[in-house]
Chain A
């Protein structure tokens, strides 16, 4: 079989992705508590690399990784030229606009200030709405922004909604649903077709 490199998002999503390979010949060999970022399976045909979620898409587009497991949220934000082969059906959540109860998303003639970790996605969602917006890019703790008056609303991923509730925010509008996806480099898809198909099957595809 061809050698394959798989990029995984560091954190819960990547760990859940690895679970799918468990008890197969592609199972990862990993020492406990290791800080290493590169691992292989026993027969050394598969290399797993752990990177920042937003970098998974970049690694795959540039071809340093053949495959990647990453959330749809990152794919929507990065908008890169890769195949999106499989919905892995875990890591479910959705994008949503959230703010204080009764907050209006459509503000006539006024600029709506939106805080988000996903500025390009926000831009794309609001592009055709005729609502002037200002996007405030944050790295985390987005829920804080409306509380301290930094923004009117936020756009973020919402799983159970408990973080929102704890901060007195509610969902104002639901946007795209999110789940973990298997992405593939377009050239790898051609050259390593059989290996990729095998992995696709293993992960629950056709």
Chain B
């Protein structure tokens, strides 16, 4: 945020600090403990482990011995490095962070981006999923605006595509069409590939009421991974069905993950009159594999710049 006077800046900082304290107390009451991510990461290991990410967006720093470092571009992988290098391994481990990430902007500057978030490692999967969605909804509820949690699962379509075994490019095109909800383009592609009988022909209608979507999804042929994804979601639906929360959840089985390490439920939080996602997260068990040990893992982050802006507007 930019300010015209120092008084204004101090006021906003004070206000935001108040929100941070509130959130910290909220996370701590839920048994989460503060973790401070490191600001520098090795460039080489970042490039090796994030092949699909655009490394030109990371901010590089030259160390004294001419080694290249980057300012942390995301917090989750950063924290996982920190944890797995010295974890005694008695799960569950629950942490929260209050931190910034750094990215190069197309126009030349460096973008600082405020985030708070949580990561829960080694918790029972279903319990972890439930807790995350509940916390996400509780936090969205503090914004004072009507909100929606968009919920999906990356595992379902992952399982589908794995079985189909298309070449990477075709799969990429199909995923892109799905993520843009480009129904006409998808229909043409699906026809050209002879996949009309698969879930691809109706995937974009697989949204709305969780129960009916899950029922419809079950009518399609499915493999173990897709089945597991649907079972997980069914478990969540049962849990939510007794809670008022269900009203705020919009289910969408065609949701595509923003990050390719998600492999389970994914969710985003939107508030009325804010045209960007405020909260986003998901399950990433697969990512922990890379650090030498597979544990159940889920987390989400909150865009603190947006949260502050919305709450200030609400005060006025």
A47-55, A82-90, A98-106, A108-116: which lies at the interface: A82-90
Q: Which residues of B contact A83 (CB under 8 A)?
A: 180-182
Residue in contact with B184 in the complex, picked from A87, A185, A190, CB distance below 8 Å: A87
Contact A185 B275 (CB under 8 A): yes
Task: A87 to B184: give the CA distance in the assembly, Å.
Answer: 6
Asked if residues B183 and A191 are in contact (CB atoms below 8 Å), the reply is: no
Verify A84–B182 contact, CB threshold 8 A: yes
Residues of B within 8 A of A85 (CB): 181-183
Chain A residues 155-199 with CB under 8 Å of chain B are: 184-191, 193
Whether the pair A187, B275 counts as a contact (CB closer than 8 A) is yes
Quote the shortest CB–CB distance from B272 to chain A (angstroms).
6
Interface bits A55-97 vs B (CB < 8 Å: 1, else 0): 0000001111000000000000000001111110000000000
Measured in the bound complex, the distance between the Cα atoms of B275 and A34 in whole Å is: 31
Per the bound structure, the CA–CA distance linking A10 and B238 in Å amounts to 50
A84-B181 in contact (CB<8A) = yes
Closest Cβ of chain A to B96, distance in Å, is 26
Q: Are B274 and A187 in contact (CB under 8 A)?
A: yes
Contact A191 B180, beta carbon cutoff 8 Å: no
Nearest A residue to B149 via CB reads A190
What are the residues of chain A within 8 A of B250 when measuring CB–CB?
A: 190, 193
Whether A205 contacts B275 by the Cβ 8 Å rule is no
A30 to B225, CA, bound (A): 55
Residues of A within 8 A of B274 (CB): 63, 187
- A187–B182 contact, CB under 8 A? no
Q: How far is the CA of A184 from the CA of B205 in the complex (A)?
A: 16
Note all chain B residues with C-beta closer than 8 A to A191: 146, 148, 270, 272
Choice from B183, B270, B276 contacting A190 with Cβ under 8 Å: B270
Minimum C-beta distance from A170 to chain B (A): 28
Size bracket, chain A contacts: 20 to 34
Which B residues are in CB contact (< 8 Å) with A186? 270, 275, 277
List chain B residues, Cβ under 8 A from A187: 270, 274-277
Distance between Cα atoms of A186 and B207 in the complex (Å) = 14
Query: Are A86 and B272 touching (Cβ within 8 A)?
Result: no
Report the separation of the CA atoms of residues A142 and B272 in the bound assembly, to the nearest whole angstrom: 43
Would A62 and B275 count as touching, CB distance under 8 A? yes
Q: Give the shortest distance, in Å, between B225 (CB) and chain A (any CB).
A: 27
- Give every chain A residue within 8 A of B263 (Cβ-Cβ): none
Which residues of A sit under 8 angstroms from B182, Cβ to Cβ?
Answer: 83-85
Assembled-state Cα–Cα distance A59/B301 (Å): 26
List residues of chain A with CB within 8 A of the CB of B146.
191
CB-based contact B270/A63 at 8 Å: no
Q: Which of A63, A86, A206 contacts B275 (CB 8 A)?
A: A63
Q: With A and B bound together, what is the CA distance between A206 and B115 in angstroms?
A: 40
Confirm or deny: B150 has a beta carbon within 8 angstroms of a beta carbon on chain A: yes
**In angstroms, how far is the closest chain A Cβ from the Cβ of B109?**
19
Within B139-177, which residues are at the interface with A (CB < 8 Å)? 146, 148, 150
**Closest beta carbon of chain A to B263's beta carbon, Å:** 23
Chain B residues with CB under 8 A of A63: 274-276
Complex contacts, B148 vs chain A, CB 8 Å = 190-191
Q: CB of B91 within 8 A of chain A?
A: no
Rounded to whole Å, the gap between the CB of B149 and the closest CB of chain A is 10
B150 touches A87 (CB 8 A): no
Q: Chain B contacts of A206 at CB under 8 A?
A: 183, 205
Q: Is B92 an interface residue (CB 8 A)?
A: no
| 21 A–B contacts from the bound complex (CB under 8 Å) | A61-B275, A63-B274, A63-B276, A83-B181, A83-B182, A84-B180, A84-B182, A86-B183, A87-B185, A185-B275, A186-B270, A186-B277, A187-B274, A187-B276, A188-B275, A190-B148, A190-B250, A190-B270, A191-B148, A205-B183, A206-B205
Q: Lowest 10 A-B CB distances belong to which pairs?
A: A63-B275, A87-B184, A83-B181, A84-B182, A84-B180, A187-B270, A190-B148, A187-B275, A191-B272, A190-B270
Residue positions of A touching B, CB distance < 8 A: 61-64, 82-87, 184-191, 193, 205-206
Given contact pairs A189-B181, A206-B183, a sample of 14 additional A-B residue pairs in the complex whose CB atoms are under 8 Å apart:
A62-B275, A63-B276, A64-B275, A83-B180, A84-B185, A85-B183, A86-B183, A86-B184, A87-B184, A187-B274, A187-B277, A190-B148, A191-B148, A191-B270
